[in-house]
Amino acid sequence: MQRLNEIKEKIKRIDHSLEKETQRRLDNLTKPQGSLGRLEELAMRMVGITGNALPPVKDKVIFILAGDHGVAEEGVSAYPKEVTPQMVYNFMRGGAGINVLARHVGARVVIADMGIACDLEPHPDLIIKKVNYGTRNMAKGPAMTREEAIKSIENGMEIFEKEFEKGIDIAGIGDMGIGNTTPSSAITSAITGESVDRTTGRGTGIDDKAVSNKIALIKKAISLNKPDPEDAIDVLSKVGGFEIGGLTGIILAAASKKVPIVIDGFISGAAALLACELAPNVKDYMIAAHCSQEKGHKIILDYLALSPLLDLNLRLGEGTGAALGISIVEASIKILTEMATFKSASVSQKADKQRELIRP
């Protein structure tokens, strides 16, 4: 807990002192003022987060954290839990959707086992930060102990800090864990106060009967475990997941280093909720990549007042949406740093209205 508290203390409010100069530069680029809309807003946001007038976006990293969930035994997913380690092997072979999109945007992928229910074969691209062999079934009791919840967050922080030594200009987060939309729905309901019916979707594509069962199980878990919405660690321990805790730690560690963190979909959003409850200032360091097809994700984004960059009906996870979001953020910085000004391009600026009025 000491390490978590140290990181929280380092997350300060964003310094807006460079905003005026950044706005002046944006207004002097060869375009009508404000004509690049959210790209200009993003550039301004990046300057504020990093404290750098011309922030680099060279070292791009996507963190994928994996873990299993005891509640998966209740049939809340269309896939068996064996898919979790199988997909992690796929990540390491470079064959998953996130690998394709990470290569597309020039990001390196970092994969970590936070709590897969089996031991994976050693691999140079796999980080082992296993808290336990999957969570317990939250429909029968707490998903984990409070100590395990703290450990999952601090393990996530350690993963980020180790990778930060290699250089990170921007980070994205993603997940892998069969059944993990179930704890994400529970976390969302617990913290936002929204009903489970509104926060729960089809996950991997389950039918109506399975959705009804999933909703009933989440309601049972919340009623049984009584997660305290004023205590993010309690929520995580009662109805969360090890990979969700790890993602929470990555968000906190990134903010402590003034690294912009691009949030993927629903599971990443649940981690963002927890992070903001632990350290409210962290919200200013987060960029929402997209709005997931999972209906609970929109509730998270509205609660955090985060406006997504994209809405492509994505629901894969893995950090795929984050990869696409990073590409848009990079485009905004290229506009800021590479586009010519009116003066440098010898282009006439907008005529002064007063001169126009008195012109003969």
pLDDT tens profile 182-201: 999 999 999 999 999 999 99
User: Do the Cβ atoms of 282 and 255 come closer than 8 Å?
Assistant: yes
Mean pLDDT of 96-114: 98
Q: What is the reported pTM?
A: 0.95
Q: Where do the CATH 3.40.50.10210 domains begin and end in the chain?
A: 60-329
User: Which architecture, in CATH terms, is 2-54+337-358?
Assistant: Orthogonal Bundle (1.10)
Per-residue confidence (pLDDT) for residue 352, from 0 to 100: 56
Average pLDDT, integer, range 123-152: 97
Residue 357: its pLDDT value, please?
Answer: 41
pLDDT at 158: 98
Portions of the chain given CATH number 1.10.1610.10: 2-54+337-358
309: its two tokens: 């960059």
pLDDT digits (tens, 9 = 90+) for 262-285: 999 999 999 999 999 999 999 999
Q: CATH code for 60-329? A: 3.40.50.10210
pLDDT confidence of residue 347 = 82
Residue 355 pLDDT > 80, yes or no?
Answer: no
CB within 8 Å of 151: residues ≥ 6 apart: 131, 245
- Residue 163, CA distances (Å) to 59, 61, 62, 309, 357 in order: 11, 9, 11, 26, 59
Among 7, 69, 99, smallest CA distance to 243 is for: 69
pLDDT of 359 > 50? The answer is no
- Residues recognised as catalytic: 318
CA 297 to chain centre: 11
